[in-house]
Amino acid sequence: MKKTNNALPRLAGILILSVFCSFFILAYMYPLKPHSLLGWITLYLISLPITYIFEEGGKKLLENKFTARIGSAGRILYAVILFGLFIALEVMFMPNLEPYLTEW
């Protein structure tokens, strides 16, 4: 079996997901938003590592021996539960960060 180099499509996917992640960060911070080009660049640069961490974390959590045994329906339920736990953690800890979120 020939191994192909899929780094470029993966990088493009991460960049596109970073834009998507930027929109979620921006939506959460509403009504605060960047007012300058530097602010928008900073927002995008912040979303790059966040997207990469979630991409790699999702791959590790959803492509392991446990998930291979539980089938596709079980994998979906497992992912929904993990996503729900992540949202619960975010809701618990985000108020601690709000004093540091100011206008850009």
pLDDT digits (tens, 9 = 90+) for 22-68: 777 777 766 667 778 887 787 777 777 877 787 888 888 888 888 88
Range of the domain at 80: 10-100
CA atoms of 77 and 38, how far apart (whole Å): 40
- Domains held by the chain: number: 1
> CA–CA separation, 21 vs 10, rounded Å?
16
Specify if 3 maps to a domain: no
1 within a domain of the structure (yes/no): no
pLDDT for 30 equals: 66
Which position has the token pair 């492509």? 63
Percentage above 70 pLDDT, the chain: 83
Q: Quick check: is 4 in a domain?
A: no
> Is the predicted pLDDT of residue 103 greater than 70, yes or no?
no
Is the CB of residue 59 less than 8 Å from the CB of residue 67? no
**Cβ 40 vs Cβ 19: under 8 Å:** no
What is the average pLDDT score of the chain? 76
User: pLDDT tens-digit profile of 62-93?
Assistant: 888 888 888 888 888 988 898 888 888 877 87
